[in-house]
Structure 1
Amino acid sequence: MRDIARAISGQYNAITCYEKLIRLSPKEDERKQIMEIRQDEINHYHEFTRIYVRLTGQSPRIKKEECPDDYKKGLEFALKDEQQTVDFYLDIADKARNPAVKSAFIRAAQDEQNHAVWFLYFWTKIIHKSE
């Protein structure tokens, strides 16, 4: 339950961070992709919260974290977070006895990996532009 609660907080923080990245993004195509990523995070947040409430009968507590105010730093922060989250979600899936919980976290891990690739792509474009 502790890991699922941590996952919920992570999704909440990703949602708020990606809202900031959408505002900071200088390019429309990047904004659109980050909006899609953010929507995935919203979906994960709702699904994980439903799982948590169903299993505990309680609402989870959110631990808020800060997101960088700079677009380049925000992208780097997001891609590292997404990549670390893949392993975390796969660990939760491995421990899960409930097939629905296992499936939800495997699917979310796949989405997080995809998100990391997008953030890496956007970040790499900025890095090569500044060289």
Structure 2
Amino acid sequence: MHGYPIAFPHYWPSLVREPGLGEPRDRGLAADILRAIHREERAANYFSRLMELAPNDNIRTVLDIVRDERIKHAQRFSEIYRQLTGREPQMRREEVPAPESFARGLEFAIRDELAAADLYRDIADRAVTLTIRRGFTRAAEDELRQSNVLMNMLARLGVS
């Protein structure tokens, strides 16, 4: 039979932790994942504040969906962080100021979504396991989709 052998475990990604040590080999990766968790928490809080300024219920519903996705990302990233480091992520409950207007808030949210997508693609590229790569690739795709939704919302409001 030609092709790859059926079982080749030594080619699979190795575990992140060194044997006998509780610290991951790539401390920068763990720090970036923790940064991503904090980013998602702040974003979820920001969308809650933005929902207060929404001009109608349809927009509030869309923002609620985006906020829920950010919460799911934070939960997924927290699980990855626990698997990577063996520790719980230290959460920072930060009060997020309300945007000065709904349109300005959307503009900021769009920039934040695009910056998050870049960070998550970077983390996915440096991932040492398939779980991390898939989790952050999916999150980057979600962020790009959400930025499109927000851009369309901004365009419908007549703000350019």
**How far apart in 2 are the matches of 1:49 and 1:118?**
26
Per-residue CA distance 1:65-102 (angstroms, 9 max, x = gap): 74424211111110000011111111100100100010
**How far apart in 1 are the matches of 2:38 and 2:51?**
20
Per-residue CA distance 1:23-53 (angstroms, 9 max, x = gap): 1101111111111111111110000001111
- Unaligned residue ranges in structure 2 (runs of 5+): 1-29
**How far apart in 2 are the matches of 1:16 and 1:32?**
15
Residues 53 and 76 of structure 1: is their aligned pair in 2 closer, same or farther, counting only changes over 3 Å?
same
Tell me by how many angstroms 1:60 deviates: 2.0
The TM-score, its normalising length taken from structure 1, stands at 0.90
Partner in structure 2 of residue 107 of structure 1: 138
Let me know the Cα RMSD of the aligned residues.
1.7
Identity over the aligned pairs, expressed in percent? 33
Task: State yes or no: 1:94 paired with 2:125.
Answer: yes
Residue 39 of structure 1 aligns to which amino acid in structure 2? Answer: D
**How far apart in 1 are the matches of 2:95 and 2:146?**
19
Q: Secondary structure at the match of 1:39?
A: helix
- Unaligned residue ranges in structure 1 (runs of 5+): none
By percentage of residues, which structure has more helix?
1
Max Rg structure: 2
**How far apart in 2 are the matches of 1:32 and 1:17?**
15
**How far apart in 2 are the matches of 1:102 and 1:8?**
15
Query: Is the contact made by 2:45 and 2:96 (CA closer than 8 Å) also made in structure 1?
Result: no
